[in-house]
Amino acid sequence: MDRIDRKIIVELQRDATLSLARLADRVGLSQTPCWKRVQKLEQTGVITRRVALVDPQMVSLGLTAFVAISANDHSPSWREAFARGIAGMAEITEVWRMAGEADYLLKVVTRDMASFDAFYRRLTETLELKSVTSSFAMERVAYTTALPIAIDEP
Amino acid sequence: MDRIDRKIIVELQRDATLSLARLADRVGLSQTPCWKRVQKLEQTGVITRRVALVDPQMVSLGLTAFVAISANDHSPSWREAFARGIAGMAEITEVWRMAGEADYLLKVVTRDMASFDAFYRRLTETLELKSVTSSFAMERVAYTTALPIAIDEP
DNA sequence: GTTGAAACGCCCTGATG
DNA sequence: CATCAGGGCGTTTCAAC
């Protein structure tokens, strides 16, 4: 993982439609070794996938909420039930196990408050939770999937 | 935006490398009309971009934090300063204007706690903030950029 | 690492029904 | 919408340096 690899990552995080020729040009390489590097980055799991990003508003999914959850107990069986429960809920796009107050933080995407309420009922009926605190986003001010890769410093 | 459009979105959100032939097959269309739909979804801004996703651990960016911020005042000038301030900080991958307690919620990605601390100092030195509360993620339990598109119900 | 080239698949366009 | 046909681009592999 050197400077050129990081350049490749930076470019592909911004635009995965970039052709190999243009990518190679931008990172200062010819096509063949550039292609080999991209392959390696994919095979070693640095680049995990290539996806299309969709505007939530355009598909009527305007409500994003962050839901902080505290577990009822901290047994392995609760964890399993939690894992199974959230697996079936497509509205949950992210799950983070947290340090501090809450045990988990969920990012939840729904159509509107009514849909969120339906989700909330399902969540609290499915799982045994000590506490659930929902915070609602009014506006997505900034959003990127690109990780802050520093090209220069390793 | 009909059933087929939503199917296309679902597929491309999962895997943007899908060839047109296979995509067309999966959504039950022939290539030409499928291609036209994809074009339209891109031109109308439903599909905003295609990106490569990177494993944070693999690039030594293992620390994700959620930072809740309250503004010093709620003037337009503060907003401007805020917008300018966060624009230069690559560690901030998401900014949400929130309802409730905090004014903004930031998702911040850094290498480790030392890097986060450096970021934190920069943040609090750059901006006038009433309060800043950081919560740290221990584990990314689930993560997807795919919005929960329902194929059947509009 | 570089260049050059070949083979193949895929994208994209057009015509037709 | 489907199908067919074609040109051109891009990916992928190989050879040689």
The per-residue pLDDT for range B121-137, each reduced to its tens digit, is: 999 999 999 999 999 99
Average pLDDT value over all residues in chain A: 97
Q: Where are the beta strands (DSSP E) in chain B?
A: 47-54, 63-71, 92-98, 104-110, 129-143
Q: Is the CB of A39 under 7 A from strand C?
A: no
Mean pLDDT of B67-83: 94
Q: Do A137 and B96 touch (CB under 8 A)?
A: yes
pLDDT of residue A72: 86
Residue type, A122: R
Q: Which nucleotide is nearest to A19 (CA to C1')?
A: D10
Whether B154 shows a pLDDT value over 80: the answer reads no
Every domain of chain B with CATH number 3.30.70.920 lies at: 56-136
Q: Which nucleotide is nearest to A36 (CA to C1')?
A: D12
A12 near B52, Cβ under 8 Å? yes
Where does the pLDDT of residue A43 fall: very low under 50, low under 70, confident under 90, or very high at 90 and above? very high
Every domain of chain B with CATH number 1.10.10.10 lies at: 3-43
Q: Where are the beta strands (DSSP E) in B20-128?
A: 47-54, 63-71, 92-98, 104-110
Mean pLDDT of A37-45: 98
Where does the pLDDT of residue A153 fall: very low under 50, low under 70, confident under 90, or very high at 90 and above? confident
Helices of type H across chain A: 3-14, 20-27, 31-43, 76-87, 113-126
pLDDT of residue B135: 98
Whether A154 shows a pLDDT value over 80: the answer reads no
Q: Do B50 and A142 touch (CB under 8 A)?
A: no
Q: Do B50 and A51 touch (CB under 8 A)?
A: yes
Of B51, B83, B146, the CB nearest to A14: B51
CATH of the domain spanning A56-136: 3.30.70.920
Q: Do B136 and A100 touch (CB under 8 A)?
A: yes
Phi and psi torsions of A125, nearest 5°: -80, -35
Surface of A (54-113) touching B: CB under 8 A: 54-56, 58-59, 61, 64, 66, 83, 86, 90-102, 104-105, 109-110
Where does the pLDDT of residue A77 fall: very low under 50, low under 70, confident under 90, or very high at 90 and above? very high
Which residue approaches D4 most closely, CA to C1'? Answer: B32
In 3D space, the residue among A109, A150, A126 whose CA is nearest the CA of residue A10 turns out to be A150
Average pLDDT value over all residues in chain B: 97
User: Which residues in chain B touch residue A46, judged by CB atoms under 8 angstroms apart?
Assistant: 54-55, 58-59
Mean pLDDT of A73-90: 94
Percent of chain B with pLDDT strictly greater than 90: 97
Fold of A3-43: Arc Repressor Mutant, subunit A (1.10.10)
